[in-house]
Amino acid sequence: MIKIIYSYNAENVGVSAAKVMADVIKNKPDAVLGLATGSSPIGMYSELIKMCKNGEISFKDVRSVNLDEYVGLSKDHDQSYSYFMHKNLFDHIDIKEENTNLPCGLCKDPEAECKRYDKVIESMGGIDIQVLGIGNNGHIGFNEPSDYFSLGTGLVQLTDSTIDANSRFFATRDMVPTQALSMGVGQIMASNKVLLIAIGEGKAEILEKALFGKVTPQVPASILQFFKGEVVVCADRAALSVIMKKHPEAVKAN
């Protein structure tokens, strides 16, 4: 079931997405959180930090697995996803470092690293909630448009459109890594709940296509239409503009 929650702006998206996460943590203090990077979840992370600081929630028994990491960037590179997670969440909450997991971008043997990460995910006994953004091309994690849906963690070749989109964070386009390690679509689909966050007009077309169009690996996020549990979509009015025009009945006000 897909539940679309409309928020007026990005700040309100952060608040409503944080509520969804906080409910999971309150119900299960040792929840396994599947976490995402990118600009979309930043507002949610700052709300979760506030909730943790005011004692509403605690991450002391929470475990986390991140979706992806760039190949070739060390943990302390300011564009690595490990750095991002520390800066935007981990360093400000009571989560234990040893309970946080990301693929290693500097591994010598990507195949072995993918296997290791599969084992990490498996050993957690299931992801309680998986946070996702959506790429301009419909990617989830770094699962790019393809002829098939990936099952487990894999080494992926980033598409030109993703490299273009992510080059805004690097000094030059040449500095953007061309490969990443990403959790597979199968692992995302095995989680208990999905929280998809989309902000801005740039996501309006692809969000409609993903949630209402044909289910195809050419739009990886479209597989969420087959998700067994609840997919909560927290999005702002700009990201929902096409959906509100075509499927107004599907959108719930926050």
Active site members? 68, 137, 139, 144
Asked if 142 touches ligand GLP (CB under 6 A), the answer is yes
CB of 79 to ligand GLP, least distance (A): 11
Dist CA 5 CA 16 (whole Å): 8
CB of 75 to ligand GLP, least distance (A): 17
DSSP letter for 184, please. Answer: -
Q: Per-residue x/- mask for ligand GLP, residues 16 to 55, rule CB under 6 A?
A: --------------------xxxxx---------------
Strands 154-157 and 179-182: antiparallel
> Hey, which residues between 61 and 80 contact ligand GLP (CB under 6 A)?
67-68
Three-state helix/strand/coil letters over 1-42: CEEEEEECCHHHHHHHHHHHHHHHHHHCCCCEEEECCCCCCH
> Hey, which residues between 151 and 170 contact ligand GLP (CB under 6 A)?
162, 166
Dist CA 225 CA 223 (whole Å): 5
Please return the burial class of 130, using the count of CB atoms within 10 Å of its CB with bins 0-12, 13-18 and 19+.
buried
Nearer to ligand GLP, 40 or 99 (CB): 40
Asked if 141 touches ligand GLP (CB under 6 A), the answer is yes
The site for ligand GLP (CB under 6 A) is made up of 36-40, 67-68, 133-135, 141-142, 162, 166
